[in-house]
Amino acid sequence: MMNTSWKGCHLFPRNVWSIATHYSTTPEMPACEYQPKKYMGPGYERVWRIRSDHLFKNAPPYYKRPLLIHDGYMQWLFDHRGRRYLDMFGGIVTVSVGHCHPKVVEAAAEQMKSLWHTTNIYLHPKLYEYAEKLTSKLPRKLKVAYFVNSGSEANDVAMLLARLHTGSHDVISFCNAYHGMTLGAMGLTAMCTWKHAVPSALGVHHAMNPDVYRGVWGGARCRDSPVQTERECACAPGACEAGDQYYGQLEELFKYSLPRGRVAGLFAESIQGIGGTVQFPKGFLKKAYELVKSNGGVYIADEVQTGFGRTGEHFWGFEMHGVEPDIVTMAKGMGNGFPMAAVITTPEIASKAEQALHFSTFGGNPVASAVGLAVLQVIEEEETQQRSHEVGTHLLRRLADLRDRYQCVGDVRGKGLMAGVELVEDRRSRRPLPAKSFVDVWEDCKDMGLLLGRGGLSGNVFRIKPPMCVTKEDADFTVAVLETAFQKLTEKRERSLP
């Protein structure tokens, strides 16, 4: 019998089948008919020198020898040598319908032939076509849009609107949240890895994060997900004790840190993205919403990563929580990689911005509007939301199978094509897997042609958020590669035992 006594990433006794039957063999990548264009740019070493000499180094590239990507098609990326990779991170959850999707490319090219830019001091038709189409996807009261260029900028504007509308200054977000890196959005963000030592959080309060895996409370029936934690759960059907406990902590914040009966608003990601695909307990956000509203505030749903059908069952992540926001921010998948974002709210809240001029030079420009409209059309025509649900559920269940057999997989979570796999050193303590071991697995996946994101405060969570055109075959390949990498780590660490 296999030795399973060590505390690291060991393999549990195999009582279910495995794709990776021969771990020395790289899993076979699904077929792709697309032929990448020949790379004609500067050499790899020159690119690296240019980066070293002329670019900020605040965001280090992925991998020990970073990839030089020059071509993409749907769920595939190609490096300068022509090697193909399955992109299961979607350009940081940004490529929604596929790299260089033909319909989106055509829409951008056609618009660029006639009008690139005028700003909104003039009328141009694509902006209004797009605004009407986009707002039709939201609850009826949310029908006024302000277009900007990034999620950070959108959240900055949303915070301004909340304060102007309510006349209050205090804003709440959750620990482990990421809302952007403008000075205002950095104040909303609550992860030390994304904080500079400058004043940025004036009037922002960070509530306890209702994390049912790493938090104080949580159990095996607390998440709206096909996969639950392995923690014991005493919740009765239709109830969530963890949600009640975390809500109590939020009440404490209101009681001790805020002016009585006054708050500007609550920011919440429907599923925390950069924080490691963290989901709130069922029912928690609805109760939090009611508490905020009863104290005069508004609820701002950050849909930068969860919007546009990615979570599968719903077009917007907030719908899974049973609430209707007062303000919604969105970006990333909105433009399938084109830099665009928006704040959508009610006419009443939007009117408060009229107190002074406020203008985004490039927000809602003709090309962005044409791209956004094409993305919505593709989402509808190719039923990417349904694909997110079907392929995502299949993927999550297959990942849960790995968790059941490999001790290094502490948790699998998510909804639709927004999945997280948290690696740990020890299941019982939930200590994060050491960075070196995590990077070894990550590098092995890349070498086998699989690109994954990395997140969580300790950088120990694989973020799996691919273009929504991926197939079940792609999902199975992803699982096979991860299993091969986990097995390699297992054998390496077993050999290191005395």
Domain(s) of CATH 3.90.1150.10: residues in the chain? 44-88+384-495
Low-confidence ranges of the chain (pLDDT < 50): 1-23
User: In terms of pTM, does the model score above 0.85?
Assistant: yes
Label residues 56-74 b or e (16+ Cβ within 10 Å = b).
eeeeeeeeeeebbbbbbbb
Q: Where in the chain is the domain with CATH 3.40.640.10?
A: 102-381
What CA–CA distance (Å, rounded) separates 177 from 249? Answer: 17
Per-residue model confidence (pLDDT) at position 336:
98
From CA 485, how far away is CA 185, in angstroms rounded?
37
Whole-number Å distance between alpha carbons of 141 and 130: 17
Q: What is the pLDDT of residue 494?
A: 79
- What span, in angstroms and rounded, lies between the C-alpha atoms of 467 and 470? 6
Q: Which fold has domain 102-381?
A: Aspartate Aminotransferase; domain 2 (3.40.640)
pLDDT for 60 equals 87
pLDDT of 366: 97
Residue 24's pLDDT is what?
53
**According to the model, what pLDDT value does residue 237 have?**
80
Give the pLDDT of residue 302: 98
Task: Give the pairing type, strands 418-426 and 431-432.
Answer: antiparallel
Task: Write out the CATH class of domain 44-88+384-495.
Answer: alpha beta
Q: Among residues 32, 25, 77, 4, which one has the least CA distance to residue 481?
A: 25
Q: How many whole angstroms separate alpha carbon 43 and alpha carbon 266?
A: 48
